[in-house]
């Protein structure tokens, strides 16, 4: 039994409209689902991904306008990296980000791969990484970004923790990741980044861990990450994972039906919320694949409350394509 890599990263935005504008028009991702946080239906849950929002391509956002800005630090995800297929693509992105007034660090290198580090307008820490054209992810045909340069999906997450060992133990001994190596941090060479990947490796399978002893813990807000989800192929293996996590002393939830996938959550010892999510059934279960994300989708148990839920949400306008 092996985790197949990253499934999605869920972050926090203070403005759904500004979030849609940036992730669709600048990053060129498809809004594959516009729904609500099932545990807080006053908040949008927006999912961006490739053409179909396949597992491993998704970055998602809760809109929590009342939250303060995120404070990065230990016990949090401090950067999310996305895959592009080549160094030529990175050069194209450097110009594109500059043209869209996005602050970025130009092309740099980390762990023997080229990347561009940047932030979204709320300070969400992101990077684009040349993954050498690995398989996985189908660019959205209507994206403003040319298909040959399009973001293919998630590459890696960067976690900051107070102590490496407990987090590393869960990654390697419980979740089956293996250590790739240790590299100097790109923005602070005095810090070491410990790189892990899921057993088979490949696209979107890496977790980077930075030990920041003695530093104040991060605080979640706009521009921060709420949790990281890993892929499991089906509900049977998910139950096995739940039992394995509990056997290792971790407090894993029962599987929760998120309608587009099923989720088991647990907090790893470094303080970061993990999820193990099934690959299916996917985003075309309740919408025509040609019209994903164009209107508010609700799981069946919330459908009777649609009028009240819609009244509590600000409308979102999708960018108009020429």
Contact 145, 319 (CB under 8 A): no
Contact 30, 51 (CB under 8 A): yes
CA distance 225 to 272: 10
For residue 60, the minimal CB distance to Zn ion (Å) is 7
Using DSSP's 3-state secondary structure scheme, residue 24 falls into helix
Provide CB contacts within 8 A for 243, sequence distance 6+.
none
Q: Which is nearer to Zn ion, 96 or 230 (by Cβ)?
A: 230
Q: Which is nearer to Zn ion, 93 or 274 (by Cβ)?
A: 274
Is the link from the previous residue into 281 a cis peptide, with omega within 30 of 0?
yes
With CA atoms as reference, report the closest residue to 257 among 265, 249, 268: 265
From the list 47-55, 63-71, 85-93, 271-279, the region that binds Zn ion by CB under 5 A is 271-279
- Residue 275 in contact with Zn ion, rule: CB under 5 A: yes
- Residue 232 in contact with Zn ion, rule: CB under 5 A: no
Q: Which is nearer to Zn ion, 88 or 257 (by Cβ)?
A: 257
Backbone angles phi, psi at 87, to 5 degrees: -65, -35
Q: Which is nearer to Zn ion, 29 or 150 (by Cβ)?
A: 29
- Residue 229 in contact with Zn ion, rule: CB under 5 A: yes
Q: Which is nearer to Zn ion, 110 or 283 (by Cβ)?
A: 283
Beta bridge partners of 115: 108, 129
Q: Which one of residues 3, 6, 10, 220 is an interface residue with Zn ion (CB under 5 A)?
A: 10
Counting residues that bind Zn ion (by CB under 5 A) gives 3
- Residue 143 in contact with Zn ion, rule: CB under 5 A: no
For residue 57, the minimal CB distance to Zn ion (Å) is 14
- Residue 197 in contact with Zn ion, rule: CB under 5 A: no
Which tokens is 156 given? 């890696």
- Residue 16 in contact with Zn ion, rule: CB under 5 A: no
User: Which residues contact Zn ion by CB under 5 A?
Assistant: 10, 229, 275
């Amino acid at each position: 039994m092996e985790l197949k890599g990253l499934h999605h990263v869920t972050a926090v935005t203070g403005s759904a409209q500004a979030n849609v504008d940036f992730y669709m028009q600048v990053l060129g991702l498809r809004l594959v689902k516009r729904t609500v946080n099932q545990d807080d239906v006053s908040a949008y849950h927006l999912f961006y991904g490739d053409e179909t929002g396949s597992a491993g391509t998704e970055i998602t956002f809760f809109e929590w306008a009342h939250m303060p800005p995120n404070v990065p630090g230990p016990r949090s995800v401090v950067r999310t990296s996305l895959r592009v297929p080549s160094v030529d693509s990175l050069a194209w992105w450097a110009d594109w980000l500059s043209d869209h007034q996005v602050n970025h660090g130009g092309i740099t290198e980390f762990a023997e791969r080229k990347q561009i580090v940047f932030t979204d307008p709320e300070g969400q820490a992101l990077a684009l990484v040349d993954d050498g054209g690995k398989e996985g992810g189908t660019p959205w045909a209507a994206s403003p970004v040319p298909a040959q340069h399009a973001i293919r999906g998630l590459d890696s997450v960067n976690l900051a923790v107070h102590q490496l060992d407990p987090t590393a133990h869960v990654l390697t001994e419980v979740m089956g990741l293996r250590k790739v190596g240790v590299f100097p941090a790109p923005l602070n060479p005095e810090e070491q980044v410990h790189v892990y990947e899921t057993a088979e490796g490949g696209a979107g399978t890496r977790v980077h861990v930075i030990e920041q002893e003695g530093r104040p813990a991060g605080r979640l807000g706009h521009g921060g990450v709420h949790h990281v989800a890993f892929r499991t192929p089906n509900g049977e293996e998910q139950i096995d994972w739940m039992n394995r996590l509990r056997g290792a002393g971790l407090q894993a939830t029962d599987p929760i039906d998120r309608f587009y996938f099923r989720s088991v959550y647990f907090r790893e010892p470094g303080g970061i919320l993990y999820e193990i999510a099934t690959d299916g059934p996917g985003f075309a279960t309740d919408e025509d694949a040609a019209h994903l994300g164009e209107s508010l989708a609700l799981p069946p148990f919330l459908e009777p409350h649609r009028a009240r839920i819609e009244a509590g949400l600000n409308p979102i306008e999708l960018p108009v394509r020429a």
